[in-house]
Structure 1
């Protein structure tokens, strides 16, 4: 009934008097995981760093001290706190203490050059820079390029002019400090710069809500529990370590710090601490699989290993299984808080021939439980492609675990999110079971004489050669065919092979039009997270 004399609109019984209250609505934030773990698992070891141990009660107190000290230093809501450190306890503490203060954490890539770091510090408007001793020289060069100087806090034996020692700063803080939490769960939590595989890094911004859900999605998919021991073989500066600093704490597990990824150290820590889980780029798996016998330490249990990026070659998957690792392949991006999908083995795979089983394992899988929607779609229409395992489309993502956008870059934000989906730029097929399988980056498909050639297919074949450790294939301009495949190979230590031998190997396994027309040898350029920088290789191919 409307018009004069109408009764006021009545609220629906399921809404009337049932609004949000402090008792039933709290903004989601990964900070809450630590308070819960400290309350219920206070004496449980939270962090292992060499001979050092931190219980959950100690970790919680240190994080509250740091949050309190930042507040006393004038750091307010949405101020940026940058950190330049490896996989250290201070990096874990920053993941909780900075958002406790309501500030924005900006983990910086420790393998970048000083000029790029200075640009990041300036673009992110960092008011504090926490520096580990191993990064002091790099930080000093970056700071010298800034027109202003943030508060510099040094951990360990770092020496930088005017810096405050990390432990001295903590001593000023209150271990009983009670953080207020975010005013809203959409509040910005982290600033992550993309790793630079395209040569155009951008600052992705995460929310408290997204980080909370991503951590729970990872813990569920990876099977984390209080008896889990997680080894840090993935840089924590990369997508917040795929949100595992929060995920492990949510599960009440133990984190083992590792500053430098070396096969001997990995095997030693697995055996010494009963490591159950680790993550890393395919290059990490390649290092483990090709570790010399003297670097290997036997262990009796199975270690779950998650890897992202290009699918590991079947030879690496086979070697990892033989060494006691169970590999799960992931897919994601900085823009999706790290993993968005995971390939989980199905019971019937055990009966498949080895090569078919490895091909299934190399798929990128299905969406994590906390991702709202996944689609493989026609890039022009955004309509889903058939789930036939053949039709190629672009991977699109939607949900709470997609970034808020790019800092101070509305055009790039609109380009990535403006169609109602996050457009990944990755080309894949959709299988009948709902799993996706990446075929290539859109820019990495090689179109030769009108035929599409997948660089990933060629790389899989090339890495089957016993002398090849890593392979990358890019398009090389050709006056007749438009483009032809150019292969760049990094050989195993002590191995030798010629280009004609590689081409003969490929001819026996590939259609003739797919065989590379050029083969080049040498170390492959990689990002700090082990991803091969194909934009560098494309430039080399054009110059050849």
Structure 2
């Protein structure tokens, strides 16, 4: 028997078997059961249908981790429309590009971020604008609660859907040019959610705290998995270390995700205020992005009493494809802390290889470096309207495998460890940042003659962008501009998280005979005695 894998099945299951159980703790204080969450999602579906949204249309959601995001996502997908979550840290120009590229017909936006859409309203094809607080949103925006109050949940028809149809588009951070829309089908989303249910050990009595942004590959699939299991969502509007500890105790949180930078914030809060770290439930925490330092892992496990899972992936791969939570390989000695920093072994049903320039596996000697490639049921369908980029990323070294651009070694047990990056990507606080994009911005500054941007180690963020600037004056001692002015220039022209963190004025940049900048030399200089040139806090 073959049953289509559809993302709508997750909420359907929760409504069938956990209908009267608490589903969502809202940031506004309300608590909703799965019956109530389902009813609100049905009303979103009906309201969107009334406004002309049909199967296949793209609908964007710009929202922090509130109940509105969950309701909108399922309301969109129940129509067979394409859920297109947006990173609320982006600029209006970024939104203009994405909304135009995806030909988005409707936007559901949080009141705190709607002004960024309003600023480019005349540049985009979008026709429907809904805010979760229409009264606090400038411009012609409908109010979310009013919209669903006026909608009849029985007024929409769920269309026939197939598992190979695209149901979400997640835009990358534009690390190699304009952002690319990663197309994900019902099948890829469903199977990825199954995998995290297994490897993250999700249960129906879990209480999940939303610290990981829901826009990040649909919250790594937790909008599906937590819902389908009938577990509880605890929503947030951002990351505050004190509030995280408070929520863990007050709501008996059992599981959440935290980038290494968030773990660092929690460690600092713990050291300064000694908060209670658990409620009645044991706590699991997943981290991804730059590997956390051993000291952080030790504090989280030995002092907080939590169990840490280090996972790895990319927007294009689901994202999760590997885990260091291989307990029989980790053992129970002190070496487990260094092993947990590794990206680890593949998820079930996932093939991960580290290959050389010819596409052959590198030896498992923990020294030979190759590129991580992957194939699995959670890997994307392709890039929206970018067939050439899709073809390249699946076939560069090994045909039919997604190429991550991350360079790694493999130990004797097959555990992968990233050493460096093939592409000029900086991961700061869990966000991907293009060094090329920062360089292009800085070239517009009159005082900059040449510039190279690399990741520099940061205790707070894992990595931070550092700019090596050759001043137009030709004299690094009298550059005609200050470091603060360079930083502020990038903040004014880019999303704030992409701004340069450090600046160094130099007489010249290291280059090959053909003039190509040798960033590797700059990275070696910057990272010094670090054991690998990728952020580890």
> TM-score per shorter chain, which class?
0.7 to 0.9
Aligned partner (choices 410, 428, 436) of residue 408 of structure 2: 428
What is the distance in 2 between the residues matched to 1:436 and 1:490? 23
What are the equivalent positions in structure 2 for 1:389-404 lying under 5 Å apart? 389-404=366-381
Tell me what 1:329 maps to: 310
Aligned partner (choices 39, 44, 57) of residue 21 of structure 2: 44
Q: 1:192 to 1:26 in 2, by over 3 A?
A: same
What are the equivalent positions in structure 2 for 1:70-219 lying under 5 Å apart? 70-144=48-122, 146-156=123-133, 157-176=135-154, 180=158, 182-198=160-176, 200-219=178-197
Tell me what 2:273 maps to: 294
Query: Deviations for 1:6-43, whole angstroms, at most 9, x for unmatched residues?
Result: xxxxxxxxxxxxxxxxxx54321121111111111111
Aligned partner (choices 272, 284, 295) of residue 315 of structure 1: 295
Unaligned runs of at least 5 residues, structure 2: 436-451, 462-482, 510-521, 523-537
Alignment partner of 1:408 is 2:408: no
Tell me what 1:15 maps to: none
What is the distance in 2 between the residues matched to 1:271 and 1:241? 22
Q: 1:150 to 1:270 in 2, by over 3 A?
A: same
Q: 1:257 to 1:251 in 2, by over 3 A?
A: same
3-state SS, counterpart of residue 119 of structure 2: helix
Query: Deviations for 1:192-225, whole angstroms, at most 9, x for unmatched residues?
Result: 1112445542111110110011111111110111
Tell me what 2:213 maps to: 235
Unaligned runs of at least 5 residues, structure 1: 1-23, 446-454, 460-471, 475-483, 494-519
Aligned length: 455
What are the equivalent positions in structure 2 for 1:348-363 lying under 5 Å apart? 349-353=330-334, 356-363=335-342
What is the distance in 2 between the residues matched to 1:239 and 1:320? 25
Q: 1:426 to 1:65 in 2, by over 3 A?
A: same
Q: 1:203 to 1:536 in 2, by over 3 A?
A: farther
TM-score by length of 2: 0.77
Query: Deviations for 1:99-138, whole angstroms, at most 9, x for unmatched residues?
Result: 1101111111111111111111111101001111111222
What is the distance in 2 between the residues matched to 1:182 and 1:360? 46
Q: 1:175 to 1:147 in 2, by over 3 A?
A: closer
What is the distance in 2 between the residues matched to 1:213 and 1:38? 20
CA RMSD of aligned residues (A): 3.4
What is the distance in 1 between the residues matched to 2:358 and 2:120? 45
Query: Deviations for 1:35-85, whole angstroms, at most 9, x for unmatched residues?
Result: 111111111111111421110111111111111221121111110101111
How far is 1:444 from its partner? 6.2
Q: Is the CA contact (8 Å cut-off) linking 1:490 and 1:523 kept in structure 2?
A: no
Q: 1:334 to 1:531 in 2, by over 3 A?
A: farther
Moved more, 61-70 or 38-47: 61-70
Moved more, 243-252 or 192-201: 192-201
TM-score by length of 1: 0.76
Tell me what 2:230 maps to: 252
State which structure, 1 or 2, has the greater radius of gyration over its C-alpha atoms: 1
Aligned partner (choices 13, 20, 30) of residue 7 of structure 2: 30
What is the distance in 1 between the residues matched to 2:159 and 2:151? 17
3-state SS, counterpart of residue 119 of structure 1: helix
Q: Is the CA contact (8 Å cut-off) linking 1:98 and 1:105 kept in structure 2?
A: yes
Q: 1:143 to 1:437 in 2, by over 3 A?
A: same
What is the distance in 2 between the residues matched to 1:491 and 1:370? 35
What is the distance in 2 between the residues matched to 1:284 and 1:166? 31
How far is 1:241 from its partner? 0.8
Q: 1:196 to 1:312 in 2, by over 3 A?
A: farther
What are the equivalent positions in structure 2 for 1:432-471 lying under 5 Å apart? 432-443=412-423
3-state SS, counterpart of residue 428 of structure 1: strand
Query: Deviations for 1:502-526, whole angstroms, at most 9, x for unmatched residues?
Result: xxxxxxxxxxxxxxxxxx9999999
3-state SS, counterpart of residue 105 of structure 2: strand
Q: 1:204 to 1:160 in 2, by over 3 A?
A: same
